[in-house]
């Protein structure tokens, strides 16, 4: 990594400048992360009197535990549906807005602001709309003969959290898709039009492939978002229920660590989550140039 | 526009209006609900037109809160959120500017090592290391303090990375000219680098303010004293706290108050916000 050609000479100053950032990183990041690694190999008895070192036993237990395996599956379903739903809506809106000339900024303003809404608040909003006794959606669904109840039906609960999580993320995806669309040279599209390609054909053979770097980037960001930032959505609404149906990994770490006080298992889960994030980040940095080309 | 197709444009408008409807609907419902009286929700499905109790409901939540359910008045919670968001935004920007300056404008032993230590934090959100970070903060005696709310979240590399990228684009001649004129490093930083990065700082501020305001899990863990509750986590206490059916009109009034400040920030600084968002994620 390069610096400027010309630099300042000073022995002490650069270290002083770095000190605040590095100290905070060490105390609140490196230390806790290594604690998590260490604790993930310990087992504490229920009274916290004795701890034993048990190597990878915590990890083995996790994968033998049906609730953990179930939570893995739930997380996969949840993050894939959230990503698909919010990205496809955002792409649809972005292509439509990109056609507009005068009304572009107006629509953009309206579509952008949900980014500011906290995930927990997004959860509460949709929870209210879908509330079985006072909400509007269950009332309308009843008219078409569907009895909505996310407190009892696990499918309903999953749909609810997916909608809430995806709703908040639409604006983020929309902005990136719009920026991607605007960077596609108009001449390519005109050339295709002259060759007789219709709107639909132009979209799928030119625009969509040229968008693939944006799409891939957003896919990774959305999966990370759905896996980690949606804690608030779950905690403020379904609390993992009914019957573990929305118990995603991040929520389970919190539950086992703080409510269940099972520190060894919670630390092991943290380590697995860190692994997942690191893999996703590496994938994002490495793959993005290589696989997505046109 | 390549070809003129009227029906296509009309269809696009229809889709977008539907889209805007979907995006706005939940907040519309919240605003309507916050103007109803408490009895409305016992009678069944909520109405879709505003009621006349808005003023009263907002006055109640801001000044009294739901003292019987252990939730403080939201005036205090709004203040706490504001302090936390400001500390996170300002703190992040300050330490990131300094460290980016060190990394770009100095050569010193272990430069790469420090860069990687900082960069690694970019990858891991707080959510994945909740329990150990909580223990560290607890052992430092920082539970129920503003410092505990904000400092651990300042440790993130996004802003450092952005400023590093920006400093690399500052022309070399700036530094040469400054050195010819006899300016030391801090003078150069203060009088040349800072004024140049002002738009980047503002864009970063918008993003980080929203990030700080919307924190949920962290305040939930480290505040047990309701004098330090932030508004976003306070809502959860209102929804689940208490035995009776939730008081929807008050909850929704709180939701509106909690969502309003960051939404206003985005609406008024849309250009900076878009810039900050698209540049941090490169």
Residue with the bigger pLDDT between A177 and A57: it is A177
Assess B120–A contact: CB distance below 8 Å, yes or no: yes
Task: Label residue A294 by pLDDT band (50, 70, 90).
Answer: very low
pLDDT digit string (tens) for A24-69?
888 888 888 888 888 777 776 656 666 677 777 778 888 888 888 8
pLDDT at B1 over 60: no
Q: Say what the pLDDT of residue A88 is.
A: 95
Is B222 among the domain residues? yes
Residues of B in contact with A253 (CB under 8 A): 127-128, 130-131
- Between these two residues, A167 and B246, which has the higher pLDDT value? A167
Put simply, whether B265 touches A (Cβ < 8 Å) is yes
Lowest mean pLDDT among A14-18, A52-56, A93-97, A228-232: A52-56
| B220 contacts A235? CB cut-off 8 A | yes
Q: Does A140 touch chain B (CB under 8 A)?
A: no
Mean pLDDT of B19-27: 89
Specify the CATH number for the domain of residue B195. Answer: 1.10.3720.10
Q: How confident is the model at residue B176 (pLDDT cuts 50, 70, 90)?
A: confident
B109 domain-assigned: yes
Indicate the SS3 state at residue A196: coil
Q: Which of A81, A87, A79 has the alpha carbon at shortest distance from A249?
A: A79
Residue A166 has pLDDT above 90, yes or no: yes
Mean pLDDT on A205-229: 87
What is the extent of the structural domain holding B214?
76-231+262-280
Mean pLDDT, rounded, for A220-248: 84
Mean pLDDT on A79-102: 92
Q: What is the CATH number of the domain that holds A176?
A: 1.10.3720.10
What is the tally of structural domains in chain A?
Answer: 1
Both tokens of A102, joined, read 């005068």
Touching check for A119 and chain B: CB below 8 Å? yes
Q: What residues form DSSP beta bridges with B106?
A: A8
Of A3, A18, A254, the CB nearest to B130: A254
Instruction: Look at the pTM and tell me if it is higher than 0.90.
Output: no
Residue A32 forms part of a structural domain: no
Chain A closest-CA separation from residue B199 CA (Å):
19
Residue A237 belongs to some domain of the structure: yes
Residue B247 lies in a domain: no
Per residue in B181-240, pLDDT (tens digit) is 888 888 999 998 999 988 889 888 888 899 899 988 888 888 887 778 888 888 877 776
Task: Answer yes or no: is A206 within a domain.
Answer: yes
| Residue B58 covered by a domain | no
Report yes or no: B44 at the A interface, CB cutoff 8 Å.
yes
- Looking at the domain assignment, is residue A168 inside a domain? yes
Phi, psi of A131, deg, nearest 5: -60, 125
This complex has an ipTM of 0.84
Residue-level pLDDT at B204: 87
B5 in any annotated domain: no
The residue of chain A nearest to residue B104, with distances taken between CA atoms, is: A3
CA distance linking residue A256 with residue A265, whole number of Å:
7
* A93/B235 touch (CB, cutoff 8 Å), yes or no: no
Chain A interface test: which of B16, B247, B267 (most A C-beta within 10 Å): B16
Q: B20–A110: do the CB atoms touch at under 8 Å?
A: yes
Determine the average pLDDT of the residues in A215-239: 86
Q: Does A218 touch chain B (CB under 8 A)?
A: no
In which band, very low, low, confident or very high, does the pLDDT at A87 lie, cut at 50, 70 and 90?
very high
Q: What is the pLDDT of residue A293?
A: 46
Give the angle subtended at the CA of B159 by the CAs of B158 and B165, to the nearest 5°. Answer: 95
Q: What's the confidence (pLDDT) of residue B2?
A: 57
Buried b (16+ CB within 10 A) or exposed e, B31-69: ebbbbbeeebbeeebbeeeebebbeebbebbbeebbeeb
Domain presence at residue B150? yes
Q: Does A21 fall in a domain?
A: no
Q: Is residue B107 part of a domain?
A: yes
Residue A125 lies in a domain: yes
What whole-number percentage of chain A has pLDDT above 90? 15
Query: How much is the mean pLDDT over chain B?
Result: 82
Q: What is the mean predicted confidence (pLDDT) over A84-112?
A: 90
Q: Is A23 among the domain residues?
A: no
Per the structure, how many domains does chain B have? 1
Is pLDDT above 80 for B151? yes
pLDDT at B62 over 80: no
Q: What is the pLDDT of residues B97-142, one digit of tens each?
A: 999 898 888 888 888 888 888 877 766 777 777 778 888 888 888 8
**Which segments of chain B does DSSP mark as H helices, in order?**
6-33, 54-59, 74-105, 111-121, 130-139, 146-154, 158-169, 172-180, 185-188, 194-196, 198-213, 217-222, 231-240, 248-268, 270-280
Chains A, B: CB contacts under 8 A, how many? 297
Domain limits for position A142: 70-290
């Amino acid at each position: 990594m390069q610096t400027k050609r010309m630099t300042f000479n000073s022995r002490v100053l650069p270290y002083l400048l770095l000190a605040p950032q590095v100290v905070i990183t060490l105390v609140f990041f490196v230390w806790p992360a290594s604690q998590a690694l260490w604790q993930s190999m310990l087992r504490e008895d229920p009274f916290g009197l004795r701890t034993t070192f048990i190597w990878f036993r915590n990890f083995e237990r996790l994968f033998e535990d049906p609730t953990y395996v179930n939570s893995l599956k739930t997380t996969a379903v949840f993050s894939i549906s959230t990503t698909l739903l919010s990205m496809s809506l955002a792409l649809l809106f972005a292509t439509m807005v990109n056609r507009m000339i005068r009304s572009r900024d107006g629509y953009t303003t309206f579509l952008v602001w949900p980014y500011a809404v906290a995930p927990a608040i997004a959860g509460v909003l949709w929870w209210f709309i879908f509330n079985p006794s006072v909400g509007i959606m269950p009332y309308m669904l009843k008219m078409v003969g569907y009895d909505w109840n996310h407190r009892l039906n696990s499918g309903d609960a999953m749909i609810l959290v997916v909608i809430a999580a995806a709703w908040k993320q639409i604006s983020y995806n929309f902005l990136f898709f719009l920026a991607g669309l605007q960077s596609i040279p108009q001449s390519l599209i005109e050339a295709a039009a002259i060759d007789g390609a219709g709107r639909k054909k132009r979209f799928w053979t030119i625009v969509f492939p040229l968008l693939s770097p944006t799409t891939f980037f957003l896919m990774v960001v959305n999966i990370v978002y759905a896996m980690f930032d949606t804690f608030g959505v779950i905690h403020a609404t379904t609390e993992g229920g009914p019957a573990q149906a929305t118990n995603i990994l991040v929520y389970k770490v919190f539950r086992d660590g703080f409510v269940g006080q099972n520190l060894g298992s919670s630390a092991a889960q943290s380590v697995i989550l860190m692994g997942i994030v690191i893999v996703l980040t590496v994938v994002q940095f490495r793959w993005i140039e290589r696989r997505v080309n046109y | 526009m390549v070809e003129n197709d009227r029906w296509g444009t009309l269809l696009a408008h229809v889709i977008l209006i539907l889209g805007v409807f979907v995006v706005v609907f939940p907040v519309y419902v919240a605003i309507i609900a916050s103007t109803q009286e408490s009895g409305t929700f016992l009678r069944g499905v909520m109405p879709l037109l505003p009621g006349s109790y808005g003023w009263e409901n907002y006055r109640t939540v801001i000044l009294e809160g739901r003292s019987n359910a252990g939730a403080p008045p939201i005036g205090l919670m709004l203040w706490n959120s504001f302090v936390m968001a400001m500390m996170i935004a300002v703190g992040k920007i300050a330490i990131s500017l300094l460290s980016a300056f060190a990394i770009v404008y100095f050569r010193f032993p272990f430069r790469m090592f420090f860069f990687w230590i900082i960069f690694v934090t970019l990858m891991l959100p707080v959510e994945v290391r909740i329990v150990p970070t909580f223990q560290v903060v607890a052992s430092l005696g920082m539970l129920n303090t503003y410092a505990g709310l904000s400092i651990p979240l300042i440790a993130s590399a996004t802003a450092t990375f952005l400023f590093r990228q920006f400093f690399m684009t500052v022309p070399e001649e700036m530094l040469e000219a400054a050195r010819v004129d006899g300016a030391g490093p801090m003078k150069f930083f203060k009088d040349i680098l800072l004024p140049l990065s002002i738009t980047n700082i503002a864009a970063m501020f918008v993003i980080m303010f929203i990030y700080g305001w919307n924190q949920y899990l962290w305040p939930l863990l480290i505040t047990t004293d309701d004098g330090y509750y932030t508004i976003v986590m306070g809502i959860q206490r209102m929804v689940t706290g208490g035995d009776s059916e939730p008081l929807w009109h008050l909850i929704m009034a709180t939701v509106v108050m909690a969502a309003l400040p960051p939404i206003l920030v985005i609406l008024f600084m849309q250009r900076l916000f878009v810039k900050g968002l698209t540049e941090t994620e490169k």
